[in-house]
Amino acid sequence: MSAPGPDDAPLVRLPVGTLRGRAENGLAVFRGIPYAAPPVGELRWRPARPHPGWAGIRDAGEYGPSAPQVGLVDPVLGGHGAPPFDEDCLTLNVWTPGPDDARRPVLVWIHGGGFVSGSGALPIYAGDTFARDGDLVVVSVSYRIGALGYLYLGAEDDADAGNFWLTDQLAALRWIREHIAAFGGDPDDITVAGQSGGAFSTAALAVHPQGRGLFRRAILQSPPLGVHTPDREEALRTTAALMEVAGVPDVAGLRALPWEALVEATVGMFGVQARWGRWPVPFLPMVDGSTLTRHPLAALLAGENPDLDILLGWTADEAGFAFGANEMYARATFEQVRARFEEAFGARGGEAYEIFAAERPGATALELLTDLVSEELFRLPGTALAEGLAEQERPVWLYQFDYPTPAYDGRLGAAHCLELPFTFRNADRWAHAPFLAGVEPKTLDGLGAAMHDAWIAFVRTGDPNHAGLPAWERYTTPTRATMRFAAACEAGTDPVGAAKRGLSGAGAAGGRA
């Protein structure tokens, strides 16, 4: 458990044991800290359990393993998960200006990845830039993903619950609240931020009875609040499909499989769940009645966390991530896209198609499909959240990331995930990512400073305004103020528009990914 370290290595003494970190460029860094018991053996597909602690000094110089996942190279990010992978993955990492009694604001990062990829151990999510630039304590969290995090086993299993990912994240937040003061953080001033699936997680944590009091602010980057949350019956059909793909007859057979076989079966699940014009997602968060009682969007709109400050936004062309570099969709026809509109909007599908087409004259079929799925999963439900909170006179700040990458001859647009190198202001760590090809250094620097400093300001004060931005007003229904992040940032209004807002009750929000 213990290992030798340099004399200047920072030490933190906690009730669960002592940690030895690393001194790195003016920060104290602690990696691979276990926040829950390893979910292995009998604890596979069980809610997270407390970690028993350790004797002596635990070396915290290296990241823990990432959750098991495919780890493929993709044409947009260039990969979103790197080995080692292991089921024993419930660890977190801390960056702090000093393990002292300064009680700094705390930023907790929850990664996304379509519920099947990503890790708190990825260098792209290192918290050093925020810790150093904002005098913050930053924590990144790894949790169970894919089949190990999202599968529901039902009454056939004695742990009749789902959403193991959510129990992991709740355990991490409890650990942070209990221990972060020893790292120089303020347990009463915590912001949870996430992107994509991590933003959905943040929303779910905000409305969970055990999560509400654990943080005061939330940053939701591209939350897929339009994603369908299956009930128990639907979730069991997914479990049955996984059993068929994996070649096992029952839950006992799944439990006996090595995690490598579960990951291999996940690849097959992409094919099982695939539908034309849909963002492929083999596993989804579910409404199981215990860990998640209803969709987080509905719960937030019902006022289940009225004291939460929210910074919310998305990229202009979210679905460019799923379709822009895919040659099959480059051949999409207008007839196929019109049919997809009818799936989304039912009887108003033709009307919706004409509204979208009028908003982008001369658009290709692929561009209209990208607009539809971007609205369906992100913008329409996100706007509904902003509208609902504003009507309740609750603080919400809205943004849209408008900068289109020149990569792939511009076909990606301002795609999903593209804002991440800017918010973290760490584009040098994204050299593997094809979606940054051709972006000019001055844009990386200028737009990065604008977004990064806004996030820091929000974490510190609840207000994202800073000297490098135009005045950013709170979102209200009269003004619909929206910060537009691009090569030149500007204060805008209403990124959706009245015509599309009028469609939001016609079937798009809440559609299956």
The token pair at 59 is 């070396």
Strand residues in 72-216 grouped as ranges (E): 91-96, 104-110, 137-141, 185-195
DSSP element (H, E) containing 128: helix 128-134
What is the number of alpha carbons within 13 Å of residue 130 lying toward its C-beta?
33
Decide: 88 and 48 in contact? Cβ < 8 Å.
no
196 is a catalytic site residue: yes
Angle at 161 between CA 155 and CA 163, to 5 degrees: 140
User: Pick the catalytic residue: 111, 222, 318, 343?
Assistant: 318
Angle between helices 197-207 and 164-179 (to 10 degrees): 70
Order of strands, sheet of 490-493, starting from the edge strand that comes earlier in the sequence? 22-24, 27-34, 91-96, 137-141, 104-110, 185-195, 217-221, 309-315, 396-401, 481-485, 490-493
- Rounded to 10 degrees, what is the CA torsion of 107, 313, 407, 145? 60
Q: State how far the Cα of 260 lies from the Cα of 86, in Å rounded to an integer.
A: 9
Alpha-helix runs per DSSP H in 309-461? 320-323, 327-330, 334-345, 349-359, 365-374, 380-391, 420-423, 441-461
Residue type, 321: F
Sign of the Cα pseudo-torsion (147, 285, 283, 196, in order): negative
- Answer yes or no: 416 catalytic: yes
User: Given 66, 140, 196, 374, which residue is catalytic?
Assistant: 196
- Catalytic site residue 228? no
Alpha carbons 421 and 105: distance in angstroms, whole number: 22
CA atoms of 256 and 41, how far apart (whole Å) = 9
Residue 6 tokens read as 């340099």
Q: List the structure tokens of 398.
A: 């809205």
Q: How far is CA 56 from the centre of its chain?
A: 35
Set 80, 179, 228, 416: catalytic member: 416
Positions marked active-site:
196, 318, 416
